[in-house]
Amino acid sequence: MSSEAPKLLVFLHVAVKQRAFQGALQAALAGIDVTAVGRIGDFDRALQERPDAVLTLPVVLSARGLSVNLRGRRQGAEDETYSLVAADSIPDPARIQTVGALDLLGRDGTDAFVNHVIGAHPKVERVTKVEDLLPLLQMQRVDAILLAARLVAELKKASRLNLMQRDLSTKVELPAAVNLGAGGPQILGALSRLPAQLSAAMGVDEWR
């Protein structure tokens, strides 16, 4: 029998630095080896190393042919609102030509995801960190940025821009986990008991 700790692979974009996020997860998940990545390429490479469980957005899991075993929820819902944010005026999805977004699925996949959520086909500028979205607006490289509505307040605190948001009708499923190996059930059980503050950083208030 192997005495190795079960391995959890995490691919989520949160408002804190990736290393701090990994550290917080590692501290909360005693006896579990946590690897948190912020880039889709790193995620795909780590996935080939056969982790026991994966925690990411369902849209990422389904793109890799994986099914959800544990879902994050907030206020009873399995999905959340996303917003378009622009400087000085409320963005019109039909009129924006360029949009900044987090790279969830590589170029083609992220383009398709953004088009689906916005309901239009702007040019997509991809970034790998939440904090990289704001500079796209500050440098006027995009007309608007797309992100989870719950993150907009943090953005406004960090910027002197007059940020205005439009909540979109197409919602995005909250983070979820899949069991891939022998240690998977142990990891999923531990995830369901995560401290509330750590779950909240992922937009989740309960796991089921």
Structural domain spans, the chain: 7-73+175-207, 82-170
148 CB burial (10 A radius; 0-12, 13-18, 19+): buried
Give the mean pLDDT per block of 10 residues along the chain (208 residues): 81 93 96 97 97 98 97 98 98 97 98 98 97 95 97 92 97 98 98 97 97
**What gap in Å lies between CA 83 and CA 168, rounded to an integer?**
6
pTM: 0.96
Evaluate whether the domain defined by 7-73+175-207 bears CATH number 3.40.190: yes
Q: Is 82-170 the same fold as 7-73+175-207?
A: yes
CA distances to 7, 25, 67, 139 from 54, rounded to whole Å, are 9, 13, 11, 35
Question: What pLDDT does residue 3 have?
Answer: 61
Closest CA to 145 of 172, 183, 173, 117: 117
- Superfamily of segment(s) 82-170: Periplasmic binding protein-like II (3.40.190.10)
